[in-house]
Amino acid sequence: MSTLLDVFGLGFSYGTREVLRDVKLKLFAGEVVALIGPNGSGKSTLIRNLIGVLRGIGKIEWEQKPLDQWRRRELARHVAYLSQNPLWEPGQLVIDVLRLGRAPYWRLFGIESPRDAEVVLGVAERLNIVDLLDRPMDQISGGQRQMIFVGRALVQEPRAILLDEPSTFLDLRHQVELMSLLRQLAKERNVGVLMASHDLNLAATSADGLVLLDRGTVVADGKAEEVLDPELLARVYGIEMERVLREGKPPIVVPRL
């Protein structure tokens, strides 16, 4: 497995408020890593630092090249990002949202190559959304919309996808579908997936590794068995937790009520 992302000693402050401190993180091709932690622990800020929208101190390397040496367009061909609440224009068609994923490949005047159209169609077929292509974004369900945005990220043909709480607005079925899709894509396309998540159990069951953030610091990094430690979680979240072990599967945790 090749290293896609290597973060070392990353720190970031909003003014005088320190949000990230000495963060260390790695992401390998083909693996799914979930970034967990309470509200305000710095998950979104970390992801925004990784794509260079926010600039902190420390080292961020994508494919062994420092982030500040990447040109924006070039980085967009290697790393895709899905925000917590992606926007679309009223009346915008599904196919137009997908096509926008090819923007890093467009020439001047936004001229597309035949390959751009091929990639869009290929992704639509892979995600079973071909019949949605001509529908306006306002007229499809929230679950379908999230699928379209994942599609836009795939259309970028990235080596890594960063997702900021992608399942927040989804019901249980769509959450599970999205997670299994991300797992499949990681294996099929050898893509590294890093997602911030609030749902510890969904993260534990669908990710290869977990990274637990607490007030801007990585306090645990590893398999679900190691990270989902009731004592550690109690300290981070401030509530008593209980671990439920499952035979041959990652453990899950529930609050002790």
Partner 1 sequence: MLATVLASVALWAVVAAACMMVSSVSVGWPATREIFQLRREVVLLSSLVGAALAAAGVTYQAILRNPLADPYLLGISSGAALFAYLWRLPAFAAVAGALALSGQAASQQAFAFLGAIVAVACVLVLSSRNGRLEPVTLLLVGVIVNALNGSIFLLVYSLVGTLPSSGGALTLLVGGIQTSLTIEQKLVATIIIAVGWIALLAISGQLNAAALQDAEAEALGVRIQRLRWLALIIASLVTASAVAISGPIGFIGLICPHLARLLVGVDQRKLLPVATALGAALLASADAASRRLAGQGLAQTLLPVGVLTSLLGGPFFLLLLFQSRRRIDLSEGRSS
CB nearer to partner 1: pick between 101 and 216: 101
Token representation of residue 184: 């499949």
Q: How many CB atoms lie within 10 A of CB 223?
A: 14
| 92 near partner 1, judged by CB under 8 A | yes
Nearest to 190 by CA among 18, 29, 19: 29
Nearest to 161 by CA among 58, 38, 31, 2: 31
Nearest to 194 by CA among 26, 71, 19: 26
| 114 near partner 1, judged by CB under 8 A | no
| 144 near partner 1, judged by CB under 8 A | no
CB of 214 to partner 1, least distance (A): 24
Rounded to an integer, what distance in angstroms lies between the CA atom of residue 169 and that of residue 161?
Answer: 19
Give the largest CA-CA distance in the chain. Answer: 59
CB nearer to partner 1: pick between 75 and 124: 75
Consecutive H or E run containing 117: helix 114-126
| 255 near partner 1, judged by CB under 8 A | no
Q: Which of 7, 23, 79, 194 binds partner 1 (CB under 8 A)?
A: 79
CB nearer to partner 1: pick between 96 and 229: 96
| 133 near partner 1, judged by CB under 8 A | no
Which among 74-82, 195-203, 221-229, 247-255 is the span making contact with partner 1, rule CB under 8 A? 74-82
Q: Which of 40, 57, 89, 254 binds partner 1 (CB under 8 A)?
A: 89
Which among 24-32, 109-117, 118-126, 182-190 is the span making contact with partner 1, rule CB under 8 A? 109-117
DSSP state of 256: -
CB nearer to partner 1: pick between 34 and 80: 80
Q: What residue type is 20 in one-letter code?
A: L
63: left (phi over 0), alpha (psi -120 to 50) or beta: left
Q: Write out the binding residues for partner 1, residues 32-51 only, by CB under 8 A.
A: 48, 51
Which among 23-31, 33-41, 93-101, 169-177 is the span making contact with partner 1, rule CB under 8 A? 93-101
CB of 239 to partner 1, least distance (A): 30
Bridge partner list, 212: 36, 220
| 17 near partner 1, judged by CB under 8 A | no
- Answer whether 82's CB lies under 8 Å from 153's CB: yes
Consecutive H or E run containing 253: strand 249-255
DSSP state of 54: S
| 83 near partner 1, judged by CB under 8 A | yes
CB of 166 to partner 1, least distance (A): 13
| 206 near partner 1, judged by CB under 8 A | no
DSSP state of 42: S
Positions in the binding site for partner 1 (CB under 8 A): 48, 51-53, 72-77, 79-81, 83, 85-93, 96, 99-101, 103-104, 106, 108-111, 156
